[in-house]
Amino acid sequence: METFVNIRRDLHKIPEVGYKEFKTQEYLLNYIEKLPQESLSVKKWETGIFVLVKGQGVAPKTLGYRTDIDGLPIKEQTELPFSSEHPGFMHACGHDFHMSIALGVLTSMAAKPLEDNVLFIFQPAEEGPGGAERMLQSEEMKQWMPDEMMGLHIAPEYTAGEIAVKKGLLFANTSELKIVLTGKGGHAAYPHKTKDMIVAGAHLITQLQSVVSRSIDPLNSAVVTVGKLESGTVGNIIAETAQLDGTMRSLDPEVMETLKTRVKAICDGIALSFDCKVHVEFNQPYYMVYNDHELTEQFMRFAAHYDGIQCIECEKAMTGEDFGYFLKEIPGFMFWLGVGSDYGLHHAKLNPDENAIGPAIQFIIDYLRSK
């Protein structure tokens, strides 16, 4: 299993964002081409890859296993010897773990195929702009459509050896949020001749905080986060524009509609009160991750009796995952894999415990072989 820790480290060095995963794809293909090829069909899809391992059975089902492959635009601060070699980019969401585990499982399946087919999906752009929905429309998916799907996501809050899962809703509906404010720039000493978009943007961010607290039933749940604010150039120039990027989350698709309506209304109010233009876009919605009851139950039963794995029934989370699109079409489930890190997902110091890799590979192989 040391091989897969090394693979994880190699991949950790070359994080690439959505649809730019060129080196990652090349690395994965180099590895895959060294596996026994008798049962494999490999197809590139954009910067992702499909690998079908043909089953030995007479009427095989197809089991789908998906890993995401993209990194994030974060400057790594772990100081690990195998830190990112791409300045400003990092595998801060564990997709390096996801890929090395997928390769570990694929290695076993290629050496000794199951009765059933297994379709490995190396999916680009999970962090954005989304790859799952587009992959689902591909010719390869039409040809090799799985009967069941599974996937995992690392979880820093659980330790290596723990997994967490639940039936039904696991992850939220999401929508990216982009707001562009346009006013009039000018000299800092003549504010009355300008329309200052830093002031308008600051008011907007404050007012957005009322969306969840005052427009959503407290018994429901929602998130409106502004993660990026860009405005201004230097201290003595009033900013003509401001751009806010964020994300919205809800457990219920109807609540997402309320979030959009309220955000839009607040933006219209800001336009009026600051005499400026406010353009709002809701982009790249991700469908919720909803775990199939029966398959999740079977998986939990298997995990409960598996030595070295502790299976925890978890709560739903406000994370988003475009794996939800696969589960919308195909029954299956996603589970959390414990990797105990003091720093969470999307943090520059995320340092998942590599002791989780080997046992996870063996556990998934044994699970697939038990089906």
Ligand X SMILES: CC(=O)N[C@@H](CCC[C@H](N)C(=O)O)C(=O)O
Write down the catalytic residue from 16, 68, 240, 321. Answer: 68
| Whether 196 is catalytic | no
Shortest gap between Cβ of 313 and ligand X (angstroms)? 19
Question: Strands, E, within the chain: which ranges?
Answer: 40-45, 48-53, 62-68, 117-123, 148-155, 162-165, 168-171, 173-182, 186-187, 222-231, 237-238, 241-250, 277-286, 289-291, 310-313, 332-338
Q: Which of 156, 320, 340, 352 binds ligand X (CB under 6 A)?
A: 320
Instruction: Kindly give the pairing relationship between strand 117-123 and strand 277-286.
Output: unpaired
Strand partners, 182: 241, 277
Q: How many residues touch ligand X (CB under 6 A)?
A: 13
Q: Which of 286, 290, 326, 333 binds ligand X (CB under 6 A)?
A: 286
Which range touches ligand X (CB under 6 A), out of 14-22, 137-145, 316-324, 351-359?
Answer: 316-324
Which range touches ligand X (CB under 6 A), out of 53-61, 259-267, 314-322, 324-332?
Answer: 314-322
Shortest gap between Cβ of 164 and ligand X (angstroms)? 14
- The residue among 67 and 117 lying less far from ligand X, judged by its C-beta, is 67
Residue 314 zone, left/alpha/beta (φ > 0; ψ -120 to 50; rest): beta
What the block records as the tokens of 175 is: 């929508």
Shortest gap between Cβ of 70 and ligand X (angstroms)? 10
Shortest gap between Cβ of 126 and ligand X (angstroms)? 6
DSSP 275-291: TSEEEEEEEEEE--EEE
Whole-angstrom Cα distance, residue 75 to residue 59? 49
Subset of residues 139 to 158 that bind ligand X, contact rule: CB under 6 A: 153
| 256 near ligand X, judged by CB under 6 A | no
DSSP-derived 3-state class of residue 219: coil
Q: List the catalytic residues.
A: 68, 127
Site residues, ligand X (CB under 6 A) = 93, 127-128, 153, 174, 176, 247, 284, 286, 319-321, 345
